[in-house]
Amino acid sequence: MANVTLGGNPITVAGKFPQKGDTVADFSLTAKDLKDLGLKDFAGKRKVLNIVPSLDTAVCAKSTKVFNEKAGSLLNTVVLVISGGLTARAVIVLDEKNKVLHSELVPEIKQEPNYDAALAALK
């Protein structure tokens, strides 16, 4: 479990957050076309998991735009924006075999992630 804040108010986030060197197991998401989608669908590609609380906020929209523009244009790299009322903002960068190259659980939900650190993991 970890703690983050929203406007300075503490929020406990359950679970174990992946750390550099961990391997992330496949998981299932629902795509915008309502079909199931998982890491296996991007096998052999590097992945930027941009985890946002809600796409209708300015910070979430900005992080989506920045990662899509900067990481989405890199060879062999996909950006997955994951939203669903989560109580945290995070970025996880995976290599082609789903090994964590970079992970950041943003301590204050209203703050942007460290774009430079995440993108540096892709170089």
Catalytically active residues, by annotation: 60
Alpha-carbon distance of 91 to 20, in angstroms, equals 12
Amino acid at 38: G
- Both structure tokens of 86: 């989560």
DSSP secondary structure of 39-78: GGGGTTSEEEEEEES-TTSHHHHHHHHHHHHHTTTSTTEE
3-state secondary structure of 120: helix
Q: Name the one residue in this structure whose structure tokens are 């108010």.
A: 9
Max CA-CA distance within the chain?
40
Report the run of H or E that residue 2 belongs to, with start and end: strand 2-6
